[in-house]
Amino acid sequence: MAERYNVRIQEHSTAYEDFSRAAALFFYQENAGYKWIPQALKYEGRRALGRYFALRLGRELARSPLFADVDLILPVPLHPLRRFRRGYNQAGVLAQALVEAYASACPASVTQPFYCSKLVRRTRATRSQTRLGGEEKRQNVAGAFRVNPHVFVRLPFSPRHILVVDDVFTSGATLAAVHNALRVFFPPEIRISVATLAFVPGE
């Protein structure tokens, strides 16, 4: 998952990046019973279910030396029209639960991350990625995200490790597009990692 994510990042940029980390709670496969979990969260409004599994993911991340120093957690944003129609952002549900999981971890060794849902915005509506091929996915989300400068200047601190959260990692195109939007404002020494409920291994 991390290797795929780093390949996608480099497709957009020639600047040097340290190896970025990526983590998911389970595999999203046709024969896996887990695959219905993100579907239920996204399409059936089962936010409590998503939150339950995100808390499990968050506890694992907080115990990991690769993610324990995360200090800013961001959800992948929905376009405002899609969020209005759905009533919530499934990535936001997961990201808020991750913040809770970090907060309940041992405070002596784990950073208490800050949650910010409005730092990154989706500036245009995009097609669903579900039925698109790899190159189509990349083109679909290219340039679709921007950092809100008004929110950026109001951040209460300068983050060292940003965690971007989504429901499912397929090609990595969406998360890489968010990554590259963040890089306009955050220099390479600020780490950007990603976490999702599910990872599609054969994409």
Look up residue 153 and give its DSSP letter.
Answer: T
Length of the chain, please? 203
Residues forming beta bridges with residue 196, ordered by sequence position? 24, 166
Q: Containing domain of residue 24, as a range?
A: 2-12+20-199
Name the least confident of 113-127, 158-172, 178-192. Answer: 113-127
CB atoms within 10 A of CB 56: 14
**Is pLDDT above 50 for 61?**
yes
Assign residue 57 the CATH number of its domain.
Answer: 3.40.50.2020
Strands 72-75 and 114-115: parallel
pTM, two decimals, is 0.89
Q: How many domains is the chain partitioned into structurally?
A: 1
As a whole number of angstroms, the distance between CA 118 and CA 136 comes to 27
Model confidence at 33, pLDDT cuts 50, 70, 90, reads confident
Cβ proximity of 132 and 116 under 8 Å: no
Model confidence at 105, pLDDT cuts 50, 70, 90, reads confident
Model confidence at 48, pLDDT cuts 50, 70, 90, reads very high
CB atoms within 10 A of CB 100: 15
Cβ proximity of 126 and 79 under 8 Å: yes
3-state secondary structure of 79: coil
Question: Which pLDDT score, from 0 to 100, does residue 81 have?
Answer: 85
Question: Which pLDDT score, from 0 to 100, does residue 129 have?
Answer: 46
Cα Rg of the chain, angstroms: 16
Model confidence at 141, pLDDT cuts 50, 70, 90, reads low
CB atoms within 10 A of CB 118: 12
Model confidence at 144, pLDDT cuts 50, 70, 90, reads confident
Cβ proximity of 94 and 165 under 8 Å: yes
Chain position carrying tokens 């599994």: 53
The percentage of the chain sitting over the pLDDT mark of 90, rounded to a whole number, equals 69
Phi-psi region of 185 (alpha: psi -120 to 50; beta: other; left: phi over 0): alpha
Q: What is the mean pLDDT of residues 78-82?
A: 85
As a whole number of angstroms, the distance between CA 74 and CA 124 comes to 19
